[in-house]
Chains A and B, each alone.
Chain A
Amino acid sequence: MKKQGETTRKYGRHIVQYPMEYSLCAGCTACEIMCALTHDGVVSPSYNRIFVERGTSSMVHTILACQHCVDHPCYDACPLKEKAMCLDENGIVYINEDYCIGCKKCIKACVFDPPRINYVWSKDKTKRKAKKCDLCRTRPEGPACIEYCQVRCIGLSDNQIPANKQLGFQAKEGGRQHG
């Protein structure tokens, strides 16, 4: 399985979930909601670029977000690089949806499982779009998910070290990588 054991990859500035000793995720979904609302003006599980993976009965939830891989395999996979998937001056990979053709290649290339890129499906092929975290690069207040998290359990990390060695990383050995 390609998505296991990717523990040496370096990451740029990205969202992390803090450990529950610092702040327990309340599971409110505000991060997902505000991500979709601020970018697209809708609330929908197809639009958010951050994901609350629910523990339905453990009630302990895991926040999954794009880790902004320095080597950006998603960007590399895009057939319309620099038009659909773009790289800004700070190394943030973002999607220009006007050009996104919804081919899903970036999603397949994402090193995480589940992939950190969301997808809007539509009967109309021209409306199929990938949704990827852009760290709210054009938002003066910074990431909306962080701003609206009621318990401050997510934040930005500049840590370049592999995700599984960071604060709050909860992956099982050899299992899926959590951000």
Chain B
Amino acid sequence: MDKLYGYVGKIARINLTDSTVSIIPTSNYVPKYIGGRSVCHKIFWDEVGPEVKAFDPENKLIFMTGPTTATGIPTGGRTVFTGISPNSYPEQYSWSGIGGWFGAELKFAGYDGFILEGKAPEPTYILIEDSEIKFLSAKNLWGKLVHDTQHKLEELHGKKVKSIVIGPAGENLIRNASITTSNDNVAAKSGFGAVFGSKNLKAIAVRGTGVVIPADIQKVMELRMKMGYPYMRPNPVVKENTIGMMGNEIPVEGGWLRGQVACSHGCNQHCNTMMIGMKSAFKDEKVNHVEKCVSIFAFGFKEDCPWTPVEVFGTEKNHSLACKMFSKEPLPPDPSDPYFEELYNTQKGDIVNFWKPDFDKGSIINDLCNEYGIDKWDVIVWLLPWLSMGKKEGVFDDIDFGMEIDVESEEFIRYLFDIIVYRKTYYGNLLAEGMARAIRALGKEKFGDTIYKGRYSQKIPGLRLDIPISLEAAWGHSVHWQGRGFEATINKPGWVCHNLLQMLSTRDAMTAAHHHDTYENYLKMKDDPCHSPLTVQGVIFDENRSELKDSVTTCEWQSPNVFWTEMEAQLFEAATGIEMTEEELDKVAVRSRLLFRAILIRNYGRDRDLEVNAIFPIMTYPDPNNETVSWEEWNDLTDMYYEARGWDKETGWPTRETYEKYDLKEVADELESLGKLPPSKK
């Protein structure tokens, strides 16, 4: 190829220990691994062994764009980090997606991605100006809040510079610290902000002036028009008088201003909510926040959010991009659909009474997370509910927290963040290690598994449902559309899929793999989801598409579309000019997924026992319909999944045949030499 389409051709290896940079051609990895997460997997597999821990200089943080990034293909602005996650329990390889304009700018500078390795001798930030990569002292940035750091970088290097930064949480190695870019976009769930901190890296700023060339401009234009309805209409700032989802609506005195904004370069949506003129945790003047779903619960958490089946199971006539719910522009429902009533049968969430509505306090919680650079999920749906439930159940009676535990009090919230982010006091230090570790250190039986007696179903009115005070699902991550706790209002066929997704992951998988299927399939599997091949087929589809959306790249709210399944292949082809069918791209996705599996098996001893035991406990607590799964059901489903994937049922390890089918013979060879390949059936 004389012209490179989609990709820009180089990956920078940035060594912080000795301030050196070397260049790797992107063609070492593509198109076998198409970009984004799939390239990261390959680099990690090749370069990081089982002995490395998250905060070791040997941990590598790999950042990749996709071939669609900066091509104008809708949602291509999404990018991904991978590395050993300090927030995973136990520490494991994980990933974290991030939007913004940084990835596109990096490509304009000439890089498809970079590998961060080593540890800088002193606080450092990296400045990338086209091909030049400099290591600069971060003495004047260290200690700064997220937005102050962003502003300082713009002051130093001009308004056009795009940055990723950490706040004090990352500097102090808080295990759920985030990396932030513009529009309050974060890579948060894997705690990679703390890996930045462990490397003495405060920020990376980039300015690029080069070009990115999509192969098929006509197609790019067509995709921009096609993707996402309703498009091309005004997006006025509106005054809202309440905040929160149904059940949690909080009247806001004087109202508040909502605007909708895009999260990343070239996005054709505006699903992020901008809250204009909010109370700041640090300044007298009001600030704007960009918030997504979880933030809403900071403003009040009396009821869990409702669930409408069409969000997950759709028909040709009624299916809507999920982001359209956020931008409050869903497709108008089509009542001519025979399933119309069922699809739009919204179900109310459990009453949980975690905290009362308080608009300003909610704003403070979100602002503290944004400015310190800390994952909101861990705070809003785990730490704070834990304190609320634990206090009501008396588990903290003998604990001197330094201030009375009171999640209703703004003063307490500020105190709590302060002791955690700056690792003050015994308990601050403990919670800085993340919820999974803190609870185990305190004693899980009492501090994790105590039953909260304040959860009531609204599906079976009056029924009290058991729930543990610690809303842990698996791998050090909290529940998320998993049938209990937060976003629990989904029926069993839905949450079974989500729990299976998380079992197979190293983190909350749902932010990049919400389950999507057709209503037709739902009808066939709903009565016995653990014994239906359609459950497995659906989960494999979710997983493969999740791999693709972080590789092509596209976003969670655009992909997958079960009624336009060749979308990702079309995006890839338009960007790169490399012919691609849906089937071929699926093969790439399975290969990527297999490599992820191989990393877990080789580096972290992943096997069937480990993962089934990690996910099962949370499913023993009832869902809003008072349903659970049995050990037998779950194991039957696991069997079916392993079989469909071509993995050994005993161990959960892929077979040599499976690796070889996806051109991963060398991976099979290495695993065999380590005794981590199941016996061949031949």
Binding site for B on A (CB under 8 A): 18, 20-24, 26-30, 33-34, 37, 41-47, 53-54, 56-60, 121, 148-153
Contact = CB atoms under 8 A, between A and B. Distances in A.
Contact of B237 (A24, A41, A45, A148): A24
Contacts of A148: 221, 224-225
A150 B263 CA distance: 13
A150 B232 contact: yes
A150 B217 contact: no
B262 interface: yes
Nearest to B257: A20
A26 B260 CA distance: 7
B261 interface: yes
B213 A43 contact: yes
A121 B105 CA distance: 16
Which residue, of A28, A53, A149, A153, has the highest number of chain B Cβ atoms within 10 A?
A28
A20 B262 contact: no
18 contacts: A23-B235, A24-B237, A24-B260, A28-B262, A28-B265, A28-B268, A29-B104, A43-B266, A44-B108, A44-B212, A45-B160, A54-B101, A56-B154, A59-B182, A59-B274, A150-B235, A150-B268, A150-B269
Contacts of B619: none
Which residue, of A44, A57, A121, A153, has the highest number of chain B Cβ atoms within 10 A?
A57
Contacts of B232: 149-152
B231 interface: yes
Interface of B: 70-72, 101, 104-105, 108, 147, 150-151, 154, 159-160, 182-184, 208-214, 217, 220-221, 224-225, 228, 231-237, 259-262, 265-270, 274, 287-288, 290
B151 A57 contact: yes
Given A30-B266, A37-B217, A57-B147, A20 B209 contact: no
Nearest to A41: B217
Nearest to B224: A148
Given A56-B150, A56-B154, A21 B72 contact: no
B262 A27 contact: yes
Contacts of B274: 24, 59
Contacts of A24: 235-237, 259-261, 274
Contact of B288 (A23, A33, A60): A60
Which residue, of B159, B213, B234, B290, has the highest number of chain A Cβ atoms within 10 A?
B234
A153 B214 CA distance: 26
B261 A42 contact: no
A22 B225 CA distance: 22
Please name the 8 residue pairs, one residue from A and one from B, whose CB atoms are nearest each other, closest first: A23-B234, A151-B235, A28-B262, A26-B270, A42-B211, A44-B211, A33-B72, A24-B259
B101 A29 contact: yes
A30 B268 contact: yes
A54 B75 CA distance: 18
B108 A45 contact: yes
Given A27-B261, A43-B211, A57 B182 contact: yes
A143 to B, nearest CB: 14
A37 B105 CA distance: 16
Contact of A28 (B154, B212, B270): B270
Contacts of A151: 232-235, 270
Contacts of B261: 24, 26-27, 59
Contact of B70 (A43, A149, A153): A43
B240 to A, nearest CB: 14
B182 A54 contact: yes
B209 A46 contact: yes
Given A24-B237, A29-B101, 17 more contacts: A18-B234, A21-B237, A24-B261, A26-B261, A27-B183, A37-B214, A43-B72, A44-B211, A45-B105, A57-B288, A58-B288, A59-B182, A59-B184, A59-B261, A151-B232, A152-B233, A152-B234
Given A20-B259, A23-B236, A42-B213, A56 B182 contact: yes
A121 B72 CA distance: 22
Nearest to A119: B209
Contacts of B265: 28-29
B119 to A, nearest CB: 28
Contacts of B266: 28-30, 33, 43
A20 B269 contact: no
Which residue, of B71, B101, B235, has the highest number of chain A Cβ atoms within 10 A?
B235
B209 to A, nearest CB: 5
Nearest to A29: B265
A20 B268 CA distance: 18
Nearest to B267: A28
Contacts of A58: 288
A34 B72 contact: yes
A27 B270 CA distance: 9
Contacts of A121: 209
A44 B212 CA distance: 6
A151 B270 CA distance: 9
A44 to B, nearest CB: 4
Contacts of B72: 30, 33-34, 37, 43
B220 to A, nearest CB: 7
A57 B261 CA distance: 13
Contacts of B211: 42-44, 46-47
Nearest to B370: A57
Nearest to A121: B209
B292 to A, nearest CB: 13
Contacts of B212: 42-44
B237 A20 contact: yes
A22 B210 CA distance: 34
B208 A45 contact: yes
Which residue, of B105, B154, B266, B287, has the highest number of chain A Cβ atoms within 10 A?
B266
B268 A22 contact: no
Contacts of A41: 213, 217
Nearest to A46: B209
Contacts of A30: 72, 224, 266, 268
A34 B237 CA distance: 25
Contacts of B101: 29, 54
A79 to B, nearest CB: 24
Contacts of A21: 236-237
A131 to B, nearest CB: 12
A128 to B, nearest CB: 12
Given A26-B262, A29-B265, A153 B151 contact: no
B352 to A, nearest CB: 31
A18 B233 CA distance: 13
A127 B231 CA distance: 37
Which residue, of A20, A33, A46, has the highest number of chain B Cβ atoms within 10 A?
A33
Contacts of A47: 211
B5 to A, nearest CB: 11
A81 B233 CA distance: 40
A5 to B, nearest CB: 22
B130 to A, nearest CB: 10
A60 B287 CA distance: 11
Contacts of B214: 37, 43
A59 B237 CA distance: 13
A41 B235 CA distance: 29
A27 B290 CA distance: 12
A110 B305 CA distance: 53
Contacts of A37: 72, 214, 217, 220-221
Contacts of B231: 150
A27 to B, nearest CB: 5
A45 B102 CA distance: 13
B260 A56 contact: no
A59 B217 CA distance: 29
Contacts of A56: 147, 150-151, 154, 182-183
A26 B288 contact: no
A24 B108 CA distance: 27
